[in-house]
Structures are given as C-alpha cells and as structure tokens.
Amino acid sequence: MSPSPPEPAQLVIDQGYTIREAAEAMNVGKSTMALFIRFTAETTNFHDTHS
C-alpha cells in the first residue's frame, strides 16, 4: 500500500528532509515525492518560507 501524500510530504515540510532524502526514506521515486509535496501544498495552506 502506498503512503498517503501528507505523511511523506511532512518529512520535507516539517522535518527538513530534502526531496531525495524523503523519497529514499519512504521508498518512492523523487518525482512521486515531488507530486506528494505539491498535492499537500495545494490542498493545505502550506506556503514555502524557504524560497
């Protein structure tokens, strides 16, 4: 079963993982992790303050 988007995205958003590190930790591809993060950002009020 694949992880739901919020869980892997939280590794990047809250815990400061890079997309690559989070993807490896969740055993998914980098593009999949990027989609999870985009989905989470679009469906929540997350705004990247690290830009």
CB atoms within 10 A of CB 37: 21
For residue 39, what are the CA distances in angstroms to 19, 46? 14, 10
Q: In this structure, are residues 19 and 12 in contact, taking their beta carbons and an 8 Å threshold? A: yes
- 7-28 burial, b if ≥16 CB within 10 A, otherwise e? ebbebbbeeebebeebbeebeb
Per-residue pLDDT of 7-37, as tens digits, reads 777 888 788 899 999 999 999 999 999 998 8
Q: Please report the pLDDT score of residue 4 as a whole number.
A: 57
Alpha helices by DSSP H, 1-51: 6-13, 19-26, 30-43
pTM of the model: 0.67
